[in-house]
Amino acid sequence: MISIEGLSKQFRTDNKTITAVDQLTLDIKEGEIFGVIGYSGAGKSTFIRLLNRLEEPSGGRITIDNQEITKLKANQLRLARQEIGMIFQHFNLLWSRTVKDNIIFPLEIAGVPKAEREKRVKELIDLVGLTERENAYPSQLSGGQKQRVGIARALANNPKVLLCDEATSALDPETTNSILDLLVSINEKLGLTIILITHEMHVIRKICNQVAVMEEGKIVEQGDVLDVFLHPKQTVTKKFVEQVMGSNEEDDSVTHLINTYNQGKIVRLHFVGETTNQALISMVAKKFTIDINILQGKITQTQRGAYGNLFVQLLGEADEVNAATYFIRDETSVELEVIRDAD
């Protein structure tokens, strides 16, 4: 769907040349929600603006749906951009226009007949959950509602690709989740390819299938979101994973648990992927005559399933505790590691 080869962007000042995007190569599949994450200055916002040539590349090629965007002349580019919607961090709405008129604006520019415009706007208002707000002005809307207008406007011309540049970073956590849920719904209903730029790993975790990590204009790590969570290779990626999972102080944590809980067997349960049995603890407690104490841990969800660790204490007769341990290892998808065996 999207092929990017050797993409570069330099900004020249009086004294030096700054490379914002450096020989970036990437392939994005049709219908995918693809996340690009990086800290400020990593080059991610420049990268997404290069995709629809809001910024002109210094080198490289961008091909979207078999059309090489980097070769298009002005008139051709104008038509191509109708198939590439974009939403922004600060909404970029027309403040003198109502919700309806903001959404209708790109349809007017595209020369869509009035009757067709009216029908399309109604569909979009319903799609993004703004029914009965079509006559409100942006100043009368909440942040989440403004972003819903931005999403509807970006979808007006039935694009094949939706670019999201820090689309939730100006929103509170609850509103962020509602917007992310909306993007997932749009992806599923319309089969839209979504590229999402962010500096927040929980956004990637919640909705993305694939993720690329940017640093100093380069992609330093890339892969399936769950795989990146499980096996982060670069220091910057590990820091992002810690945003969701917490600081990696596991060795100290294990020592503390061993010293604090001096009875029974302590095990670490490692949850990975979509086959994880969410009812594991209650199932084991019913199946075996043991007591199970959850000591600590953190489980989070990705699009592919659960990921995380849970430390539990197993108390009871040795045979029952051992039988429960073997059951978890052999009969479930949860990985088990014995931290301290029973006394």
Mind listing the pLDDT tens digit for each residue in 17-30?
Answer: 999 999 999 999 99
Coil, helix or strand for 156? coil
Q: Is the pLDDT of residue 42 over 60?
A: yes
As given in the structure block, the two tokens for residue 108 are: 């007017």
Question: Residue 4 half-sphere exposure, CB side, CA atoms within 13 Å?
Answer: 22
pTM (two decimals): 0.81
Query: Where along the chain do the CATH 3.40.50.300 domains lie?
Result: 2-244
227 burial type by CB count under 10 A (0-12 exposed, 13-18 middle, 19+ buried): middle
CA 98 to each of CA 77, 133, 318: distance values in angstroms, whole numbers, following the listed order: 28, 9, 70
What superfamily would CATH give domain 250-340?
Answer: ACT domain (3.30.70.260)
Asked if 140 contacts 93 with a C-beta cutoff of 8 angstroms, the reply is no
HEC string of 258-288?
A: HHHCCCCEEEEEEEEECCCCCCHHHHHHHHC
Coil, helix or strand for 141? coil
Please name the fold of domain 2-244: Rossmann fold (3.40.50)
Q: Is the pLDDT of residue 250 over 70?
A: no
What would the pLDDT profile of 205-248 be if each residue is shown by its tens digit? 889 999 999 999 999 999 999 888 878 899 999 999 887 766 55
- What is the structure's pLDDT at 209? 92
Query: Where along the chain do the CATH 3.30.70.260 domains lie?
Result: 250-340
